[in-house]
Amino acid sequence: MMSLTCQNIGRARYDMVSCGCSSSSSSSSFSKKNLINTSVNLNKGFQLHKLVSSKRDVSLFGRKVFSTKSPEALLNVVPQGPASVFESKSSDPILVSSLLEVVAEDLLTLNKNLQSIVGAENPVLMSAAEQIFGAGGKRMRPALVFLVARATAQIAELKSSLSVPISLMVKYVRGGSSWLDGGELTSEHRRLAEIIEMIHTASLIHDDVLDDSDMRRGKDTIHQLYGTRVAILAGDFMFAQSSWYLANLENIEVIKLISQVIKDFASGEIRQASSLFDCDVTLEEYLIKSYFKTASLIAASTKGAAIFSGVERNICEQMYEYGKNLGLSFQVVDDILDFTQSAEQLGKPAGLDLAKGNLTAPVIFALEREPKLREIIDSEFSEDGSFNKAVELIIKCEGIKRAQELAKEKANLAIQNLQCLPLGGFRSSLEGMVMYNLERID
């Protein structure tokens, strides 16, 4: 098995420049088998599995971690093998608000800026902007930017602190400060978070138009309220505005990384539109499409945050892998919920993907075991009751159960990708985001 990197995620050969890879990376041809049979290649030279601050207790999923090691010893620690994500699982439900408490102020600042960004130059879009950014949502993607930014900036600050005399370090700790308080955000980090949320929101608006969806997060969609024309223009404007802000960051690696995301969105939509009601679609093809539509943006968010923190390239790549694996797990869970939750719980119509011929992981797994399901899907549910029959077969053939296993596999990989980060509130929250996602299907 080999690590699934950006060289083999969804193109026969990746452009090393456009994806922001190291020039030393291999550009071998893409193997579809690699997309499922993945393992993480952790670099011993940069892992900081047990990095904690001097004389400071830290809670990690209810467990106390304590160390009196110096920063230099902490940076050189060799980690133990990563545990399964399920070994840290608590019986108490994970609350997103608790996970994001460590970046709550950062998110408040972001929320204040988003509406003004869209409406400032285009008053006609102001009411649409209020609906877009006032419809709820957890702001998961910008939150991931802030969490990774503070965790990786902490690494950069720790390395720079090695040149500080020990006497000053002791005074620093006795004064109540801690290396686990996290690194400072730069203006680039904050702008990146805004860019990511604008791109995500623009993609949702266009998705709703393409899918003719009436609801999003339990509220009417933009095109239902203001018409298709305004919805498309609002999405286009946010894509354009995000591109403008992106260019002004003046970091060519991040510019290329985020620009690739916008291209991936289009590629994902094209792949989906060209494979509707296609019972021959493979799990590999599904994962590639899921990467384009969901995981690409999350991976770019986490890697971009690490780049602006100035950490080593191998840490940036692990943050990319974390975002990719979390994104894939997140998409699989969403596709499971499409079968198991009601429209009220989902905030959008239930069973929408299957009804429109978009075959997701539960369907693909079930098709491997039940020929009758193929016949029903090939008919495009032309007979009365055929849709409900298809759902019954998917459940009976353990399509949902096997999809749950796939989501957990990707979640475990995401947890392993975090081994390079210091223990503390920020890494704990990043791990918690993975666990929260899995809790949605428990």
**Domain containing residue 281: CATH number:** 1.10.600.10
Whether residue 164 is predicted with pLDDT greater than 90 in this model: the reply is: no
Amino acid at 96: V
Q: Is residue 13 part of a domain?
A: no
**Model confidence band, residue 37 (pLDDT cutoffs 50, 70, 90):** very low
Q: Which of 12, 69, 1, 78 is nearest to 41 (CA)?
A: 1
Nearest to 364, CA basis, from 288, 289, 280: 280
Percent of the chain with pLDDT over 90: 48
Q: Among the ranges 110-119, 197-206, 384-393, 402-411, which has the highest mean pLDDT value? A: 402-411
Evaluate whether residue 358 is within a structural domain: yes
pLDDT tops 50 at residue 152: yes
Instruction: Give the model confidence (pLDDT) of 326-338 as tens digits.
Output: 999 999 999 999 9
- Amino acid letter, residue 228: T
Residue 267: pLDDT band with limits 50, 70, 90:
very high
Q: Is residue 47 part of a domain?
A: no
Question: Which pLDDT value is given to residue 341?
Answer: 81
Instruction: Say which residue, 349 or 307, is predicted with more confidence.
Output: 307
What pLDDT score was predicted for residue 346?
Answer: 55
Residue 62 confidence (pLDDT) above 50: no
pLDDT-derived band of residue 210, with 50, 70 and 90 as boundaries?
Answer: confident
Would residue 8 count as lying in a domain?
Answer: no
Give the number of C-alpha atoms closer than 13 A to the C-alpha of residue 184, restricted to the C-beta side: 3
pLDDT of residue 156: 79
Contact 300, 257 (CB under 8 A): yes
pLDDT given at position 41 = 38
Q: What angle do CA 433, 434, 438 make, to 5 degrees?
A: 115
- Does residue 62 sit within a domain? no
Each residue of 352-404: pLDDT tens digit?
A: 899 999 999 999 999 999 999 999 999 999 999 999 999 999 999 999 999 99
| In-domain check, residue 403 | yes
Assigned domain for 424 exists: yes
pLDDT category at 96 given cuts 50, 70, 90 is: confident
The mean of the pLDDT values for the chain is: 76
Two structure tokens written together for 193? 């978070």
In a domain, 16, yes or no: no
Q: Which domain holds residue 157?
A: 96-440
Would you state the pLDDT for residue 263? 93
Q: Residue 93: which pLDDT band, with cuts at 50, 70 and 90?
A: confident
Whether 22 has a pLDDT exceeding 80, the answer reads no
Largest CA distance in the chain: 79
Pick from 116-130, 137-151, 228-242: least confident: 116-130
- Kindly tell me if the per-residue pLDDT of 4 is higher than 90: no
Which of the residue ranges 129-133, 189-193, 196-200 would you say has the lowest mean pLDDT?
Answer: 129-133
- Spell out the alpha helix ranges (H) of 310-370: 313-340, 343-346, 352-355, 361-367
Residues 227, 351, 231, CA angle at the centre, nearest 5°? 15
Q: How many domains does the chain have?
A: 1
Rg of the chain, C-alpha, whole Å: 22
What one-letter code names the amino acid at 152?
A: T
**What pLDDT shows up at residue 124?**
61
Q: Kindly give, in sequence order, each residue whose CB lies less than 8 Å from that of residue 421, ignoring residues fewer than 6 positions away.
A: 48, 51, 151, 152, 155, 427, 430
3-state secondary structure of 55: coil
- Residues 145-161: what's their mean pLDDT? 85
The half-sphere exposure of 134 on its side-chain side, counting CA atoms within 13 A, is: 11
Q: What is the pLDDT of residue 437?
A: 95
**Mean pLDDT highest for which of 2-6, 34-38, 116-120, 250-254?**
250-254
pLDDT (tens digit per residue) in 418-432: 999 999 999 999 999
